[in-house]
Amino acid sequence: MRRLLAEMMGTFALVFAGTGAIVINDITHGTVTHVGIALTFGLIVLAMVYALRDVSGAHLNPAVTLGFWAARRFHTSDVVAYLLSQCAGAIAASLALHLLFPAHPTLGATQPSGPVVQSLVLESMLTFLLMFVILNVSTGAKEKGITAGIAVGAVVGLEALFAGPISGASMNPARSFAPALISMNFNNLWIYLVGTCLGALIAVPASRGVLGKHRWIESES
């Protein structure tokens, strides 16, 4: 239960701060700025990794949990519970933002600004890079080490910085699902469910190939 509570609280913090930055930027006519939004996502992930890594591994993301599972670093029996906890935290965050800013139409939901296929491929590539980094700085299913939080937070912030204007740079199914659910805006949601999970799964063999058999086995325990 401690691990599930940690995942719920961590994902709540990520969605509340990240999509909250988008909402506040909209209602204040650009005060936060796109750079500020990207930094908010990166910094909240960095903070939550350091706060929760020793409790739950600080996945904060259903795609990451699926990636760890595909890499055989995470027990099948725990997958559904983690996914539900992450979605519950994300939904609670979007509900809180809806109560604070009831007039906002999307609550920071992700939407493609160009062709659907473009955003689908982009989300897959972004999540691939994120999962690749996570697998390479992790031990087992936990993001451990002094630099793990910095590396993961930096990737999230960097990808949000350059890809956000095109696809929204979700990289996280829960982050996209929660505001879509609360705002009842399901247009193109499938992009952020399919693309992110696909990218995370593809990262597993890529990471294994780069690390090699010996280092891959070491990283499993």
Is the predicted pLDDT of residue 67 greater than 90, yes or no? Answer: yes
Model confidence at 1, pLDDT cuts 50, 70, 90, reads: confident
Reading the block at residue 203, the tokens are: 């990262």
Average pLDDT over every residue of 42-68: 94
Is the predicted pLDDT of residue 206 greater than 70, yes or no?
Answer: yes
Measure Cα distances from 194 to 136, 159, 190, 198, 199 in Å.
23, 18, 6, 6, 9
Give the model confidence (pLDDT) of 146-171 as tens digits.
Answer: 678 899 999 999 999 999 999 999 99
Residue 221 pLDDT > 60: no
Give pLDDT tens digits for 123-152: 999 999 999 999 988 876 676 666 788 999
Residue 215 confidence (pLDDT): 65
pLDDT at 47: 95
**Neighbouring-strand partners of residue 139:** 142
Domains of the chain: 2-219 (1.20.1080.10)
Average pLDDT of the segment spanning 99-127: 96
Instruction: Output the pLDDT for position 80.
Output: 97
How confident is the model at residue 137, as a pLDDT?
A: 87
Q: Is the pLDDT of residue 216 over 70?
A: no
CA distance 170 to 156: 9
Instruction: Record the pTM.
Output: 0.93
Whole-angstrom distance, CA of residue 70 vs CA of residue 96: 33
Predicted confidence at residue 20, as pLDDT, reads: 98
Mean pLDDT of 17-46: 97
State the average pLDDT for the chain.
93
Find the radius of gyration of the CA atoms of the chain.
16
